[in-house]
Amino acid sequence: MRVKRYIVEHMPDAMQRIRSELGRDAVILSTKEIKIGGFLGMFTKKRIEVVAAVEKESQVKESQPARPNRQATTKNELSAVNAIKAVPNASLSTLSVPNRAVPAAYKRTNDVLKAGMNDVARDLELSTMSVAASSEMVAEEQLVEERRQLESERPTHVASIKLIDQQVSDDPLLKEIKEMKLWMAKMAKHSMMKEELPETLQKIQEQLIQQEVDIHLRAEWIEAACEKWEDSGHSLTDDQLHQFIYDKAFSFLENRLGGGINSTTKIVYVAGPTGVGKTTTIAKLAAEQLFRYQRKVGFITSDTYRISAVEQLRTYASILNVPLEVVQSPGDMQRAMQRLDYCDLILMDTAGRNYRNELLVSELQSMLTHAGDSETYLVLSLTSKSQDMMKITEHFSKYGLDKVIFTKQDETGSYGPIFNLLNNFPLHLSYMTNGQNVPDDLMMPNQKMLCDLLLGEREDES
């Protein structure tokens, strides 16, 4: 079986070349849109990659053979499907990517990156794209339509493509090669950007890395600034480049800040994992609503699992002179709501839960009664790892979240996870806490404050 790869501008060009070089019995294995050329991901050209195969080498040499009858065609296509079952081994042999090439590629990676070359990554990409392409979707509508036409003409091609998709996804070696290719491409791109970026953007990039800003969000801002710098003929000053990134972060936060508790809100549910400071945060919120907005506040707690949790909130309730109800079931919750109906605002403290335990987290749902006059807040600690924040939010999002509160701002110097979370989930940031003092250590962040924390304070230009 012979496998060949074509890169063309239009699908008809590929069809013509396949028929002339491989013959009419050739089978199209995959199509994919790719980008070639360019600099730092810009000015690239779109092309179509088509991978085709023919069962017998002799078929390639036939020039314009007569169209076989339907019975013969069906037989040939069935033979091609059987031959495709050996694609992982055959394709690796054809594309010269044997098992022994993987450790060799790893061994050469550092030397290649130090020399500023990404030829190995490019070669590896070319050799694996034809195998991995079948597992990816074609983005362009034109390609989708053309592929549908091809599949309607030759139904067995669909089975062939699905078979290859399944084999590629199950082959651990191909997965490892694909992951290595992506890693090498990232390293090569990072090395190139370090060499090509102006010094100011290099420093800003390092600042964003130290702040743990997600690589995709960071690359979006830096590449936009680099394009602006190129368009200006390298005439932008350091202050202008810094201001450009600052403005990107500033505009990112638009429509992502939720302000405080709405004046029409009747009940606020406060949820989150263990140890993030939910109970203390609830006391701060109560003090804010009591003293700043003169609202009657009541407490409900379902945190009967943690030792002294009820007593801690009872102490705050006594100091603030607000009522407290303790609930253990949905029935208790309904009765507590009725007893506190005279309050303008009810703050409910839920039990801290291990977010990895689905059963424990799902218990919260039985206590939450979402309505138009309620809000659900997720409390997260800024001392947590960014990936843990993502997983926690993903678990709790199943039960409806509106806003987020970040605690322990005074215990960390890394604020990138705030931007990462807001970029990945439709939440609004309402409050941040920077200490344990009630009610003082509660802040309502704005765009300037967060941008200053992320990029460092700077004086406004006159």
Question: In Å, how far from its chain's centre is CA 233?
Answer: 33
C-beta separation of 188 from 121 below 8 A = yes
Strand partners for 301: 326, 349
CATH architecture of 267-445: 3-Layer(aba) Sandwich (3.40)
Nearest to 168 by CA among 224, 60, 234, 95: 95
Residue spans of the domains in the chain: they are 2-191, 267-445
The DSSP letter of residue 411 is G
More confident of the two residues 398 and 419: 419
- Are the C-beta atoms of 284 and 441 separated by less than 8 Å? yes
Write the pLDDT tens digit of every residue in 139-149: 444 555 555 65
- 37-43 average pLDDT score: 67
- Rg of the chain in Å (alpha carbons): 30
Distance in angstroms (rounded) separating the CA atoms of residues 105 and 124: 9
Mean pLDDT of 369-391: 87
Q: What is the pLDDT of residue 450?
A: 95
DSSP string, 50-72: EEEEES-THHHH--SPPPPPHHH
pLDDT in tens, 222-236: 999 988 888 888 888
pTM above 0.85, yes or no: no
Most confident of 18-32, 50-64, 88-102, 358-372: 18-32
What is the model's pLDDT at position 170? 57
Which residues are CB-neighbours of 282 under 8 A, at least 6 positions away?
270, 299, 313, 316, 347, 349
Spatial separation of the C-alpha atoms in residues 3 and 5, rounded to whole Å: 7
Q: Across the chain, what does the average pLDDT equal?
A: 74
Q: What is the mean pLDDT of residues 24-38?
A: 80
What would the mean pLDDT of 25-49 be, rounded to a whole number? Answer: 78
Spatial distance between the Cα atoms of 154 and 157, rounded to a whole number of angstroms: 6
Q: Which residues pair with 35 in a beta bridge?
A: 46
CB atoms within 10 A of CB 293: 13
Measure Cα distances from 376 to 271, 297, 349, 405, 417 in Å: 7, 16, 11, 11, 20
Residue with the two structure tokens 């701060």:
284
Position 17 pLDDT exceeds 60: yes
Report DSSP state, residue 459: P
Tokens representing residue 398 in the block: 């199943």
Which letter does DSSP use for residue 274 in this model?
A: T
CB-CB contact of 62 with 20 (8 Å): no
Residue 359's pLDDT band (boundaries 50, 70, 90)?
low
295-330 in b/e form (b: 16+ CB < 10 A) is: bebbbbbbbeeeeebbebbeebbeebebbbbbbeee
Smallest CA-to-CA distance from 262 within 112, 161, 375, 411 is with 375
pLDDT tens-digit profile of 126-135? 444 443 443 3
Q: Which residues, including other chains, have CB under 8 Å from residue 8's CB and lie 6 or more apart? A: 14, 17, 47, 48, 50
Q: Cβ(88)–Cβ(165) under 8 Å?
A: no
Q: What is the Cα–Cα distance from 405 to 413, expressed in whole angstroms?
A: 17
- Whole-angstrom Cα distance, residue 300 to residue 217? 39
Question: Can you tell me the distance from the alpha carbon of 27 to that of 206, in angstroms, rounded to the nearest whole number?
Answer: 49
Q: What is the pLDDT of residue 259?
A: 87
Least-confidence region, from 145-154, 181-190, 191-200, 416-425: 145-154
Res 41: pLDDT: 61
In this prediction, residue 23 has a pLDDT band, given cuts at 50, 70 and 90, of: confident
Determine contact, residues 228/192, Cβ cutoff 8 Å.
Answer: no
Q: Name residue 257's beta-bridge partners.
A: 429
Sheet holding 324-326, edge to edge: 324-326, 297-301, 345-349, 267-271, 374-381, 403-407, 428-433, 442-443
SS3 188: helix
